[in-house]
Amino acid sequence: MFRRLFLHPHRRLAFPRPPTATAAANARFLTTSLPTICPACSAPLPTPLPACPKCAHISPLPDDTSYYTLFRLPSPSPDNPAFNLDTKILKQYFLNAQRICHPDNWSVKGDKAQSIAASQSSMLNKAYTTLLSPLKRAEYLLSLQGITMAETDKLDHQDQEFILEILDAREELEEATTEAEVEDIRARNQERIDATIRALQDAFEKRDWVRAKSECVRLRYWNGIESASKGEVDH
């Protein structure tokens, strides 16, 4: 098992510095509010986007718009960790908003309007994919606390038990020869993913940013096992 690890340098496990107290002290929350009434015709806006289908007025989104605000979800605050959310509601709001700001719908309104619509659509897509994924959502929430997640962030060197779990899971995948074996590995790995997501929720509720970042790293590894398992049946 360990021999295989060194035969594949891209699988080596590096050990990062933990997030500092200074980063957590620089906490900030995006509270930008968006208009609910069209500034041009005073009609109620159907979505949080500053885009009015009634009079075809559209304006750019502020750069610091919260992803949560875009979907009328409760924004992160000292009293609301905002990690748990209803993905069905998220999808519903996304589809409604995307219909409003789709660039094709604004092509007859001129290049400027279509460009603004394209920008809104791009931000909406990014916000949706971020909030839909528990890992990306957690990383986004940490970024609001001044804590960034890098691709090079790896496991803490003291977490030897977890490191061995990852190595064992990868070894199982390498040795799996049937779809049934892979499905069994995936099922057990999904249990680990679910447990890590619950741990993330607990960390955010307790405003324990150091632990939340650590759980993000763990989730990244379990997600990696899930991704690897999808290509392990055909050898």
Low-confidence ranges of the chain (pLDDT < 70): 1-32, 152, 154-158, 232-235
Domains located in the chain, CATH noted: 2-18+151-229 (1.20.1280.20), 28-143 (1.10.287.110)
pLDDT at 13: 37
CB contact set of 152 (below 8 Å; sequence gap of 6+): 14, 16
pLDDT value of position 157? 65
**Is residue 64 within 8 Å of 30, Cβ to Cβ?**
yes
Q: What is the predicted pLDDT for the residue at 24? A: 36
pLDDT score at 235: 40
In order, the DSSP letters of 112-146 are HHHHHHHHHHHHHHHHHHHHHSHHHHHHHHHHTTT
Q: Which two tokens stand for residue 66?
A: 């919260």
- Residue 124 CA to residue 186 CA, distance in Å, equals 31
Determine whether 33 is exposed, middle or buried from the number of CB atoms within 10 Å of its CB (0-12, 13-18, 19+): exposed
